[in-house]
């Protein structure tokens, strides 16, 4: 599902510095063009993704971007954890 992939891309970019489009496409098992569209979608949603060009280029989330921990409470965290556990059980590849 697209929303799962968008969340996955966001988390992956938050945990890595600059990520090549091909690496993201391979990781999420989609085309490079789909990753480009997803990056545009995330940018429109307010997540500051920048594109770095060149041999070491790729996507990056600006260092100034921080998730506001005040947006969720304990109950929301419980829902998120349950959703992630459900996603995890649906994939054969446990690395995802």
What are the boundaries of each domain within the chain? 2-64
Neighbouring-strand partners of residue 59: 19, 51
Rounded to two decimals, the pTM is 0.66
Phi, psi of 51, deg, nearest 5? -110, 130
Tokens of 28: 């999420």
pLDDT, residue 87, reads 73
CATH number for domain 2-64, candidates 1.10.10.10, 3.90.45.10, 3.90.870.40, 3.40.50.450: 1.10.10.10
Q: Which of the 8 DSSP states describes residue 76?
A: H
Closest by Cα among 68, 91, 92, 74 to 4 = 91
Residue 70 is predicted with a pLDDT of 54
Q: What is the mean pLDDT of residues 74-86?
A: 80
Residue 58 has pLDDT above 70, yes or no: yes
18-22, 28-32, 47-51, 74-78: range with lowest mean pLDDT: 74-78
The residue with greater pLDDT, 79 or 58, is 58
Rounded to an integer, the average pLDDT of 70-80 is 74
Average of per-residue pLDDT across 74-95:
75
Judge whether residue 42 has pLDDT over 80.
yes
């Amino acid at each position: 599902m697209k929303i799962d992939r968008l969340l996955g891309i966001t988390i992956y970019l938050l945990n890595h510095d600059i990520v090549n489009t091909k690496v993201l496409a391979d990781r999420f098992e989609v085309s490079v063009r789909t990753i480009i569209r997803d990056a545009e979608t995330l940018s429109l949603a307010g997540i500051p993704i920048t594109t770095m060009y060149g041999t070491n280029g790729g996507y990056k989330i600006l260092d100034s971007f921080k998730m506001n921990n005040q947006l969720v409470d304990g109950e929301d965290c419980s829902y998120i954890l349950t959703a992630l556990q459900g996603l995890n059980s649906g994939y054969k590849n446990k690395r995802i």
